[in-house]
Structures are given as structure tokens and as C-alpha cells.
Chain A
Amino acid sequence: MTGAASGVGPDRLLARFPQGILGIDPFPGTAGRLRFDPAIALELFREVRDTLGYTHLAMVAGIDWVQTREVLYAVWSDAGRRYLLLSAQLPADHPHIESATAVWPSANWHEREAWELVDISFDHHPDLRNLLLPTGYQFHPLLRSFKLHEPEELEVKVRDV
């Protein structure tokens, strides 16, 4: 899978980011899963879009691994007709990464969702506010540390919204 002849394999970026790319794993049905250092996020996104031709960002997911927080991007290439996964591990205390909205505008809502559900902040996001949860919601409910509340404990001030 990795580095297929269609020209959309991520291998050619290894020379460009010898430090930043931590590894490329095969992943069924995609061009591979590229692990990268969050420090190079924005440059990597630009290269992936402009050099490899992944023009569409289909998904941004946040995953809570307790020790770390992972953020996973799925990007799609129309020419190569396949996905590429980009993944970065973030520290669990203050997980943050550069926003992908400058490269793929469709990252906007996905990042808002990841921000409110698993508490990953995206630097330089144009409009980082609640998407699915009400404004002012105090919890990040998809974190593993989140406990189910009795309804009475989950006080949300609806009228202030």
C-alpha cells in the first residue's frame, strides 16, 4: 500500500521532513497512516495538499488515550482515489496543535467538535466555540475521565445561552 506508484504515497515527504515524520504504517484501504510531530503540522498539511494532491479533508478525530491525546486526520485525493491518514500524539496536559483550517477550510467544524468533546485546542482556529454542545458547557464528555452524571448534577444554564 505504502508509496504506491500512483504518486500519492506519502514516502516522498520523508526527505522533506526527516525529523518531523515519525513513521508511516500500512493501513488497509488507505495510502497509509503517517505519524508526525505536531510541531510541523502546518507545513506538513501544505505539502500533503500541494505536493501529494490530497485536496479534501474528510475527517478530524480526537482520541483520548489517557496518557496522550491523539488527533487523526483523514484526507482524500481525487486523483489517486484514496485516503491518507495523518496522526499526531499530543501531551495530555494542554493538548494543542496548529489548526488545519488554513489549508483545508473544511477542518473548521471538525476541529470545533474535537475541541469540545475531547478537549484538544487548535491554535489559530478562526472560530473555536461549541458546535454540538450548548455554549458554556463545562465538561468534555468523550474524555475517559468523564463520569456519567445524574441529570441533576449536569446543570446547564440554558437561559444564558
Chain B
Amino acid sequence: MGGVTTASSPAGVPAAAAATGPATEPAVPFLEIETLRAREFIPAAKEALASRISEEAQDRLLRPVFNWAGRNSLFPLHWGLACCAIEFAAAFGARWDAERFGVVPRSSPRQCDLLIVNGTVTWKVAHKLITLYEQMPEPKWVIAMGNCATGGGPFRTAYSVVPGVDKLVPVDVYIAGCPPRPEAMLDGILKLETLIKERGE
């Protein structure tokens, strides 16, 4: 299944939304919508609802649902950069098990909506990071994990290190530590979920 998280639960979401609408018609359109690609889903769902309820009502109904679904299924990019990547891996191991928050690392940027920069970014790799970020579908978020990604860390004055990944991509959450413990990483992810909820994206 595709990983655009705002639409990553096509089966469950419209059923809930339709239940609150005038439930006179059977929800036949949604069966077809399920087979659509994720990015076509939101307009298709809106169109299906348009005949029944007003624009604002759609927004009121759909946006919280997509927001809820999106923030509870953040898919980070599986991209290890430096030592922090070890803690990133540990957070997905049996002990901390980040997947219980719906966080599943994916190996392709096209299936991700969260870029966790877990390590030292050098100028050599900087444009690859930008490419990866640009390949991710909207909406997308960035977490700078560890001191290196936040501000260059111990290598701040080194000749080859980007002093903070916010020089390259917009960062939503910074996690301090060298490296941050897996608990800190999970805390950062939960903070991002709160942020997404507050912004109502």
C-alpha cells in the first residue's frame, strides 16, 4: 500500500465520514475509490461527498480524519547517516518498538512523509539529502535527530560538515543528544504528532 499518510487508510476513513453524513445512499463510490492511487483519493472522496454535504461540512468532517490518520502513521525514510542511525535502529527494535506508534521506516522516499536526519550531514551528501526530501510527497515533515543534524555537533567547525541541517531543509522538530536515546527519539516523534495536530495539516 502506498504511504501517503493523509490517505493511507482508504478503507476505514470514508466509512467513518460517510456514517456522519446523510446515510441514505449505499457507499458504493468508496469501493471504487479504494482502488485509486493515494494522491487521487482526497479529491475523489471530496467529489463523492460533494453531492451530499456542503464544502465547509466536508472540511470539518474530512480534515480531522485525515489529520488523525496522518499523524498516527508517520513513515520515516530508512536512511542511516552516522552514529545516530544506530539509536534510530534501536528505537525500532524489540525493546522500544517505535512501530506501536505507527512509525514504520520505508526504504523509498516516495513512500515516506517523515525525514529523520540521523547523523552528520557533510556538504558532499547535502544535495542528495535535498533530492530525497524533494522526492517525498506532501505533506512531509523533518526531524533533526542529534546534535550533528541540529547544529553540526562536535564537527561544527570542520571543513566538510553542514552546520545544521536546517540550512538545507525546513526542520519541524529538533532532538538534542549525542546520540539521543531511543526514548528521546520517540519523544520527538510524539512531539511531531502533537505539532501536526495543532497545525491541523
Contacts and interface: CB of A to CB of B under 8 A. Distances in A.
Interface string B154-176: 00111110011000100000000
B96 interface: no
Nearest to A117: B159
A156 interface: yes
B168 A141 contact: no
B157 A150 contact: yes
Contacts of B48: none
A134 interface: yes
Given A151-B152, A151-B163, A158 B157 contact: no
A141 B159 contact: yes
Interface in A125-161: 132-134, 137, 139, 141, 146, 148-152, 154, 156, 158-159, 161
A18 B140 CA distance: 68
A151 B156 contact: yes
Contacts of B152: 151
B159 to A, nearest CB: 4
B157 A156 contact: no
B168 to A, nearest CB: 7
A151 B127 contact: no
B184 interface: no
**Interface SS of chain A: helix, strand, loop or mixed?**
loop
Contacts of A141: 159-160
Given A158-B130, A158-B168, A151 B123 contact: no
Contacts of A148: 157-159
A149 B159 contact: yes
A152 B157 CA distance: 9
Given A146-B159, A148-B157, A133 B127 contact: no
B156 A156 contact: no
B157 A137 contact: no
Contact of A134 (B124, B130, B156, B168): B124
A139 B123 CA distance: 13
A152 B168 CA distance: 14
Nearest to B161: A151
Contacts of A151: 152, 156-157, 163-164
Nearest to B129: A158
A134 B122 CA distance: 9
Contacts of B130: 158-159
B121 to A, nearest CB: 10
A148 B123 CA distance: 16
11 contacts: A132-B124, A133-B160, A134-B127, A146-B159, A148-B157, A148-B159, A149-B157, A150-B157, A151-B164, A159-B127, A159-B130
Given A137-B123, A159-B127, 11 more contacts: A132-B124, A132-B160, A133-B123, A134-B126, A134-B127, A148-B157, A148-B158, A148-B159, A151-B163, A152-B163, A158-B168
